[in-house]
């Protein structure tokens, strides 16, 4: 497990919610590395998902891929094991 994934796993849910709230209020566009951390996955995994067209919506800003935090949350929620799953 990568250091980022371990840090993400060990972070308190309230702390993560606070970070997401701050991101929405300041700059809701996250870098690929920040987005991967937010989702609890490696940046390489997020890149592979983007290249295959299976990742969250993203856009090119200033030569780098950016992810809106609401798109990340929507993508993650759509993949959540739901009732009866």
> Mean pLDDT by 10-residue block, N- to C-terminus, for the chain (85 residues)?
56 73 81 93 97 96 94 93 57
Domain limits for position 14: 3-75
Please state the pTM of the whole predicted model.
0.68
CB 2 within 8 A of CB 34: no
Residue 27 pLDDT:
83
Q: Is residue 82 part of a domain?
A: no
Q: Is residue 54 part of a domain?
A: yes
CB 65 within 8 A of CB 58: yes
Q: Is residue 23 part of a domain?
A: yes
Residue 85 pLDDT:
45
Q: Is residue 71 part of a domain?
A: yes
CATH number at residue 28: 1.10.1660
The count of domains in the chain is 1
Q: Is residue 80 part of a domain?
A: no
Residue 6 pLDDT:
54
Q: Is residue 85 part of a domain?
A: no
Residue 21's contacts (CB-CB under 8 Å, 6 or more residues apart) are none
């Amino acid at each position: 497990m990568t250091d980022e994934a371990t840090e993400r796993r060990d972070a308190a849910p309230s702390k993560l919610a606070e970070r997401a709230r701050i991101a929405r209020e300041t700059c809701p566009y996250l870098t690929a590395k920040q987005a991967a951390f937010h989702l609890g996955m490696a940046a390489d995994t997020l890149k592979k998902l983007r290249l295959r067209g299976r990742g969250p919506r993203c856009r090119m800003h200033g030569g780098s891929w950016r992810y809106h935090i609401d798109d990340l949350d929507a993508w993650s929620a759509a993949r959540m094991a739901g009732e009866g799953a």
